[in-house]
Amino acid sequence: MQKTIILLFCSVFLGYSCHSNKTITSDKSATKGAQDLYKRLEATAGKGIMIGHQDALAYGLGWWKREGMCDMYRVSGEYPAVYGWEIGDIHTPRNLDSVAFSDMKNWMIDIHKNGGINAISFHMDNPVDGASSWDTSKITKDILPGGKDHQKLLFHLDLAANFIKSIQTDAQAVPMIYRPFHEHNGNWFWWGKGNTTEADYIALFQFNVDYFRKKHNIHNLIYAFSPDRSRMKSSGSRTDYLYGYPGDDYVDLLGWDNYMDVKASNNDSLNAVGIKSLVTGLEMIADLAAEKGKLCALTETGSESIKDPKWFTQRILNPIKASPKASKITYVSFWRNARESHHYMSYPGHITEADFKDFVKDPMTLTLKDIGTNFVK
* Chain contacts with ligand BMA (rule: CB under 6 A): 86, 96-97, 123, 336, 338
Smallest gap from residue 62 Cβ to ligand BMA (A): 17
Instruction: Count Cβ neighbours within 10 Å for each residue of 179-205 and write b for 16 or more, e otherwise.
Output: bbbbbbbbeebbbbbebbeeebbbbbb
CB count in 10 Å sphere of residue 142 = 17
How far, in Å, CA of 134 to CA of 96, rounded?
A: 12
Q: Which is nearer to ligand BMA, 34 or 87 (CB)?
A: 87
CB of 328 to ligand BMA, least distance (A): 26
| Alpha helix positions (H), 115-266 | 140-143, 150-166, 198-210, 238-241
Q: Whole-angstrom Cα distance, residue 84 to residue 361?
A: 22
| Residue 153 one-letter amino acid | L
What is the b/e burial string over 75-88, where b = at least 16 CB atoms within 10 angstroms of the residue's CB?
Answer: bbebbbbbbbbbbb
Q: What angle do CA 254, 258, 259 make, to 5 degrees?
A: 155
Nearest to 289 by CA among 344, 242, 333: 242
Q: How far is the CB of 55 from ligand BMA (least distance, A)?
A: 8
The number of helices, as runs of H, and strands, as runs of E, in the chain is 13, 13
**339 DSSP assignment:** B
Q: State which residue, 48 or 255, has the beta carbon closest to ligand BMA.
A: 255
Taking the least distance from each CB to ligand BMA, the nearer of 98 and 162 is 98
Using CA atoms, how far residue 180 sits from 87, 88, 202, 352, in Å, is 10, 10, 12, 31
101-113 vs 150-166: helix crossing angle, rounded to 10 = 50
Task: Pick between residue 86 and residue 252 the one whose CB is nearest to ligand BMA.
Answer: 86
Cβ distance to ligand BMA smaller for residue 183 or 200: 183
What residue number has its CB nearest to ligand BMA? 86
Please identify, using beta-carbon distances, which residue of 298 and 371 lies nearer to ligand BMA.
Answer: 298
Minimum gap (Å) between residue 126 Cβ and ligand BMA: 15
Residue 39 · residue 33 · CB < 8 Å:
no
Q: Which residue's CB is nearer to ligand BMA, number 96 or number 264?
A: 96
**Least Å distance between CB 123 and ligand BMA?**
5
Cβ–Cβ under 8 Å, residues 177 and 119: yes
The residue (of 87 and 366) whose beta carbon lies closer to ligand BMA is 87
Burial class, 371, CB count within 10 angstroms (exposed 0-12 / middle 13-18 / buried 19+): buried
d(CA 303, CA 258): 9
**Strands (E) located in the chain:** 49-54, 59-60, 63-64, 82-86, 117-122, 168-169, 172-173, 176-180, 221-225, 253-258, 295-301, 331-334, 365-366
Instruction: Report the residue number, 148 or 339, with the smaller CB distance to ligand BMA.
Output: 339
CB of 370 to ligand BMA, least distance (A): 27
Closest to ligand BMA by CB, 7 vs 120, is 120
CB of 37 to ligand BMA, least distance (A): 23
